[in-house]
């Protein structure tokens, strides 16, 4: 994934204007491709495009390793299997709907729903479901929105409107910081674990990787609040302090004689406190 999309160090300054336009369009396409996973059950046209030689090559380059349940299954059966898995993951009770309100608030149609709706409206968009109605803070809608902004950014660059491009880039950054950045990476790891079909599993992986790549590219630092965030192996945690060092005197280790903390405590000068207390008593008596 990162090998193809490159790392965060790839500053836009290195790209020509034409390259930037192309990059915006390419990014918009990836957003749309990912939105297609969530907006509704994968359609035949969508699956055909993905399973075309070109599509498969691109996905492979991005690091997706689909199983035979995706690559070798006849289209009608594949569509059927994916529709069932889609329902189990995103629609049926007990699933994990790809909806920000649910992920971050545990309930449908909460604050994120209204916030993104307002953002879409300000940008001149309204969410209209295709085959089914969808929530404004559904992942597919959020990804589609960024894709639209990227298309606009590409158009702005194409017409020499650098200010417009920068404004749109800021808008995208702001949107990521306020919404997808808060939950998509964690959600992707969750989905990767929950999915039974390799299509959803690999697309979840792709989503997680792409989300981090975008955040790096945009220079947005935002904590993923979704509880499903990656669990970092203990061995990979870098400590800025010695975890073996006692931080209080409550434990036996902290009370060991010769402990530095003990020594420091015994050396604290409390005479000024004693003086103040004595002064107060005098004042009261007076």
Partner 1 sequence: MFEMNRRTFLKVSTGATAAAVAAPKVLNAMENELGGKDFGPVTMAERQAVPLTCHVCNIQDGAIAYVENGRIVKLEGNPEHVSTRGRLCAKGNSGMWYTYNPDRVMYPLKRVGARGEGKWKRITWDEALAEVTSKLDAALKKDPNSVMMKYGRDRTGGAIGRFMKTLGSNTVVNHTSVCESSKKIGMEPTWGPDIETPDFENTKYILNFGSNIMEAAYFHNPYSQRLTEGVAENHAKLVTFDVRCSNTAGRSDEWVPVFPGTDGAVALALGHVILREDLQDTDFIDTWCNVSTAELKKHYKAFTPEWASKLSGVPVETIERIAREFALTKPATTYTYRGPAKHLYGSYQEKATMMLSIMTGNVEKRGGYCLPRGMGYDQPSPQPPGGAKPSYLSGPSEYPLAGHKVSHMTPLWIAEGKQKINVYFTYMDNSVYTNPGAQALWGKLYTDEKLLPYIVSISTVIGEETALADIILPDCMYLERWEPESMPNSLWPWLGIRQPVIKPLGETRETRIILRDIIHKLDPNGKRGMKQYWNFKDGEDYMRQQFDNIPGLKQAGGVEFLKKHGVWPIYGKLNPRTGKISDNTGREIQAEFGLYMKELSAADMAGASVDGHGTIHKNGKAIGVRRKGKNYVGFGTGDRLINIRVDEWAKYGFNPMPTFKQIPWHKDMKDDELVMTTYKYNVHVQSRTASVKWLAEIVHANPALMNADTAAKIGVKTGDLVRVESKVGHLVTKVEVTEGIHPKTVAISTGCGHWEYGRLSTLNLKSGPEFGGTEDADLKNVWWEDKGVHPNAIIPCVVDPIGGSQGWYDTVVKVTKAGPDDKYGDVVASYEKHLEAAKETMRYAYTGDLHRKMHPEMASWGGPASVKGGGGGGHH
Contact residue for partner 1 among 41, 148, 202, 214 (CB under 8 A): 41
In this structure, the chain runs to a length of 286
Element (H, E) at 123: none
Out of 96, 123, 220, 230, the residue judged to bind partner 1 by CB under 8 A: 96
Q: Is 56 in the site for partner 1 (CB under 8 A)?
A: no
For partner 1, how many residues bind (rule: CB under 8 A)? Answer: 44
| Site membership for partner 1, residue 177 (CB under 8 A) | no
- Cα–Cα distances (Å) from 26 to 147, 148, 281, in that order, read 9, 12, 77
Of these, 24, 34, 64, 89, which contacts partner 1 (CB under 8 A)? 89
Contact residue for partner 1 among 4, 49, 92, 278 (CB under 8 A): 92
For residue 42, state whether it binds partner 1 (rule: CB under 8 A).
Answer: no
Minimum distance, C-beta of residue 170 to partner 1, in the bound complex (Å) = 25
CB atoms within 10 A of CB 181: 23
Stretch that binds partner 1, among 48-56, 106-114, 206-214, 241-249 (CB under 8 A): 106-114
Which of the residues 117 through 156 are near partner 1 (CB under 8 A)?
131-133, 135
Tally of CB atoms within 10 A around 161: 15
In the complex, what is the shortest distance from the CB of residue 149 to partner 1, in angstroms, rounded to a whole number?
Answer: 24
Contact by Cβ (8 Å): 69, 197? yes
Q: How far is the CB of 108 from partner 1 (least distance, A)?
A: 5
- Which residues, other chains included, contact 211 with Cβ-Cβ below 8 Å and sequence gap of 6+? 180, 181, 184, 185, 188
Residue 193 lies near partner 1 (rule: CB under 8 A): yes
Tell me: does residue 265 bind partner 1 (CB under 8 A). Answer: no
Give whichever of 76 and 243 is closer to partner 1, judged by the CB atom. Answer: 76
Residue 227 sits in the site that holds partner 1 (CB under 8 A):
yes
Interface with partner 1 by CB under 8 A: which range of 13-21, 142-150, 184-192, 236-244?
184-192
Q: Is 111 in the site for partner 1 (CB under 8 A)?
A: yes
- Secondary element (H or E) of residue 170: helix 162-178
Which CB contacts under 8 angstroms, 24+ apart, belong to 78-85?
A: 78/47, 79/41, 79/42, 79/43, 79/44, 79/47, 81/197, 82/41, 82/42, 82/47, 82/197, 82/199, 82/200, 83/41, 83/42, 85/195, 85/196, 85/197, 85/199, 85/200
Interface residues with partner 1 (CB under 8 A) are 41, 80, 83-84, 86-89, 91-97, 99, 101-111, 113-114, 131-133, 135, 186-187, 190-191, 193-194, 225-228, 283
């Amino acid at each position: 994934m990162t090998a193809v999309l490159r790392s965060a160090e790839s500053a836009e300054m290195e790209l020509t204007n034409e390259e930037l336009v192309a990059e915006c369009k390419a990014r918009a396409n990836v957003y749309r491709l990912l939105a297609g996973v969530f907006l509704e059950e994968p359609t035949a046209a969508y699956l055909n495009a993905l399973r075309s030689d070109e599509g498969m090559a691109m996905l492979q380059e991005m690091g997706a390793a689909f199983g035979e349940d995706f690559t070798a299954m006849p289209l009608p059966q594949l569509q059927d299997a994916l529709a069932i898995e889609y329902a189990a993951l995103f629609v049926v009770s007990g699933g994990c709907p790809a909806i920000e309100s649910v992920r971050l608030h545990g309930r449908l149609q909460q604050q994120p729903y209204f916030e993104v709706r307002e953002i879409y409206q300000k940008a001149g968009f309204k969410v209209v479901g295709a085959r089914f109605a969808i929530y404004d803070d559904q992942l597919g809608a959020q990804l589609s929105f960024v894709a639209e902004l990227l298309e606009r950014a590409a158009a702005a660059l194409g017409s020499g409107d650098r200010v417009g491009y920068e404004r749109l880039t800021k808008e995208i950054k702001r949107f990521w910081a306020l919404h997808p950045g808060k939950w998509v990476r964690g959600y992707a790891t969750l989905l990767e674990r929950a999915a039974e079909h390799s299509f959803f599993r690999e697309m979840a992986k792709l989503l997680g990787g792409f989300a981090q790549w975008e955040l790096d590219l945009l220079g947005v630092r935002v904590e993923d609040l979704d509880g499903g965030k990656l669990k970092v192996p203990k061995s990979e945690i870098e400590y800025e302090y010695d975890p073996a060092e006692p931080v209080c005197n409550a434990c036996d280790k902290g009370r060991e004689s010769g402990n530095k903390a003990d020594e420091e405590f015994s050396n604290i000068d409390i005479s000024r406190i004693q003086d103040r207390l004595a002064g107060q008593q005098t004042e009261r008596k007076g």
